[in-house]
């Protein structure tokens, strides 16, 4: 690899993306948000030689074409690329997409699970378990693309970190649908994070509205388990407590009866269970109900598992039970019903389970999510998941509530069920409530105003002013242009009020403020000098 080639590549990172890359021939045409992701990464690599950017694209939104285009750009200059995944299915998928999009590229596979050990091709798509032992073969790799980047631990060694430390001269780009881990929060922006920052994010709402993803229809259960007494250890519910709760025979039979009932007009149902014993119990009851059902577990032989998945995709099996197997790297686009019979404290795992139903398919109007374990109440809807907060262990106001008539799960602020027109009973809330020195007050909102707030030495933010019925003006600041947790919090604020694309700046947010839902009341905490908004009700 010559220094001239390196200079040429760095120069390419620095040019505007309106280049020959925009008009290259390829079998798969990138969507607008995929092009935007590629542009953001390319620009980012040019502006900071030490940056390690992260791209967020929802499950089913197509991360693999983004990976393929970035790999092609680097290979265009004669350099080598390493694409990493943690399961063989994703390795095969990435390699296949590269070959379909760009048949002339030199693409090889390094995966023991797929029986291939190619370490010499210009673009090598590999499993991390195998690639970590071949660092010497990749000393001249220019770019590492990591799919399912949330798998990289925040600290410690691990296979990803070991390989990255062995290849210090390679640039790193991560792609994921969930930019946080079970423990430790966001995977970017902090001193111990592998990734420096989030350079592009595409929201589920945008892709659903654009027809790229299937809408999720949320349904609770008349016999859901109560998870309020479960303990949390190391970022997840204690397994023994969960097993005792969910594997009760009455609980299982009630859940299975509902699953089969709702599946009458559905194409395929994927069921997530807590343990092998739980999964076998569920499989047995569904079979007793006269349904064609199969199950896959970690101990299921790979050949048998592959055959079951093939039969499920071919619709020879309608119900498929699994335990922590079919969460990533598994795509059956016709899945239009998902049943969560296990609770999880992990927002990432919750997203991955629901994400199996996001892909579109002929005849699929939506995917019905049956939640028997209060996961939606714990994490929120999948397009507005709350950030993990292991310290609070799930305390606080649930973001959704269940209709008392049809069990539809709706936003907590809804006063009438949009499905059956059930009127939620009014909750008598005193105007003032006090606990110790903390005073919480509910105020009616008459007018909301939005302003760009600039402060010397800091990035602009958006100041939101609520003019209340008592004449008071209460303000909050939304840090859309910041990084790390403030930006993530700003995204939660935005997507709680609007399903459109997250704005790039405070000024753009104000231009699009007419799209935001109208607040009718706010609850404020009076414990500090300035009132703190703790919840908002919408029209």
Q: Which residues are registered as beta bridge partners of 322?
A: 272, 296
Give the ranges where 356-412 is alpha helix by DSSP (H): 375-379
On the question of pLDDT at 137 being above 70, the answer is yes
Pick the CATH number of 216-396 from 3.40.50.2300, 3.40.630.30, 3.40.190.10, 3.40.50.300: 3.40.50.300
Containing 75, the helix (H) or strand (E) segment is helix 63-76
Class at the top of the CATH hierarchy for domain 3-206: alpha beta
| Per-residue model confidence (pLDDT) at position 202 | 87
Q: Exposed, middle or buried: residue 231 (CB in 10 Å: 0-12, 13-18, 19+)?
A: exposed
Containing 283, the helix (H) or strand (E) segment is helix 276-288
2 — pLDDT class (breaks 50, 70, 90): very low
Containing 252, the helix (H) or strand (E) segment is helix 249-262
Please, which contacts does 107-112 make with residues 24 or more away whose CB atoms are closer than 8 Å?
110/134
Q: Quick one: tokens of 338?
A: 């998902």
Max CA pair span of the chain: 74
- CA-closest candidate to residue 500, choices 292, 287, 204: 204
Angle (deg, nearest 10), helices 63-76 and 32-47: 50
Report percent pLDDT > 90 for the chain: 37
| Per-residue model confidence (pLDDT) at position 18 | 38
- CA-closest candidate to residue 64, choices 150, 153, 121, 145: 145
Q: According to CATH, where is 3.40.50.300 located in the chain?
A: 3-206, 216-396
Alpha-carbon distance of 354 to 338, in angstroms, equals: 7
- CA-closest candidate to residue 108, choices 69, 146, 71: 71
Q: Exposed, middle or buried: residue 478 (CB in 10 Å: 0-12, 13-18, 19+)?
A: buried
On the question of pLDDT at 286 being above 90, the answer is yes
Q: Of 18-22, 24-28, 41-45, 229-233, which gets the smallest average pLDDT?
A: 18-22
Output the pTM of the full model: 0.68
Alpha-carbon distance of 213 to 420, in angstroms, equals: 25
Containing 308, the helix (H) or strand (E) segment is helix 302-313
Contact by Cβ (8 Å): 368, 350: no
On the question of pLDDT at 436 being above 70, the answer is no
377 — pLDDT class (breaks 50, 70, 90): confident
| Per-residue model confidence (pLDDT) at position 20 | 38
299-340 pLDDT, tens digit per residue, is 999 899 999 999 999 999 999 999 988 877 688 999 999 999
Angle CA 404–496–235, to nearest 5: 80
């Amino acid at each position: 690899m010559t220094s001239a080639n390196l200079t040429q590549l760095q120069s390419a990172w620095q040019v505007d993306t309106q280049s020959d890359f925009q008009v290259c021939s390829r079998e798969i045409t990138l969507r607008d948000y995929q092009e935007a992701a590629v542009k953001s990464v390319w620009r980012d690599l040019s502006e900071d030689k030490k940056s390690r950017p992260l791209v967020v694209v929802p499950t089913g939104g197509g991360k693999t074409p983004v990976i393929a285009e970035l790999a092609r750009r680097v290979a265009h200059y004669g350099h080598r690329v390493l694409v990493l995944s943690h399961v063989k299915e994703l390795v095969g998928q990435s390699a296949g997409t590269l070959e379909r999009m760009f048949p002339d590229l030199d693409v090889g596979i390094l995966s023991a699970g797929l029986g291939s050990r190619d370490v010499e091709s210009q673009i090598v798509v590999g499993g991390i378990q195998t690639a970590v032992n071949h660092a010497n073969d990749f000393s001249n790799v220019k770019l590492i693309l990591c799919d399912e980047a949330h798998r990289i631990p925040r600290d410690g060694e691990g296979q990803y970190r070991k390989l990255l430390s062995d290849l210090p001269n390679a640039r790193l780009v991560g792609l994921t649908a969930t930019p946080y881990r079970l423990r430790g929060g966001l995977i970017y922006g902090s001193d111990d994070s592998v990734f420096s920052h989030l350079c592009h994010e595409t929201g589920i709402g945008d892709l659903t509205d654009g027809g790229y993803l299937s809408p999720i229809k949320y349904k609770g259960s008349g016999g859901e388990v109560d998870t309020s007494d479960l303990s949390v250890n190391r970022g997840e519910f204690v397994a023994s407590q969960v097993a005792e709760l969910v594997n009760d025979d009455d609980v299982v039979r009630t859940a299975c009866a509902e699953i089969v009932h709702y599946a009458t007009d559905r194409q395929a149902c994927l069921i997530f269970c807590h343990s092998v014993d739980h999964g076998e119990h569920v499989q047995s009851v569904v079979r007793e109900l006269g349904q064609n059902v199969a199950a896959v577990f970690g101990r299921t032989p790979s050949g048998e598992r592959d055959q079951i998945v093939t039969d499920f995709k071919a619709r020879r099996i309608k119900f498929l039970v699994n335990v922590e197997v079919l969460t990533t790297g598994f795509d059956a686009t016709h899945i239009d019903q998902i049943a969560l019979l296990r609770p999880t404290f992990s927002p990432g795992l919750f997203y991955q389970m629901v994400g199996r139903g996001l892909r579109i398919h002929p005849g699929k109007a939506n995917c019905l999510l049956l939640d028997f374990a209060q996961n939606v109440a714990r994490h929120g809807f999948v397009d507005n998941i709350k950030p993990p907060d292991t310290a609070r262990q799930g305390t606080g106001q649930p973001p959704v509530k269940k209709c008392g008539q049809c069990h539809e799960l709706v936003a907590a602020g809804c006063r009438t069920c949009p499905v059956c027109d059930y009127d939620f009973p009014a909750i008598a809330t005193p105007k003032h409530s006090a606990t110790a020195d903390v005073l919480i007050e509910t105020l009616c909102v008459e007018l909301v105003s939005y302003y760009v707030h600039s402060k010397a030495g800091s990035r602009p933010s958006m100041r939101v002013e609520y003019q209340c019925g008592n004449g008071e003006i209460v303000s909050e600041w939304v840090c859309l242009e910041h990084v790390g947790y403030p930006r993530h919090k700003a995204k939660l604020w935005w997507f709680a009020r609007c399903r459109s694309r997250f704005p790039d700046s405070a000024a753009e947010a104000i231009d699009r403020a007419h799209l935001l839902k109208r607040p009718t009341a706010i609850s404020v905490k009076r414990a500090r000098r300035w009132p703190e908004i703790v919840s908002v009700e919408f029209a």
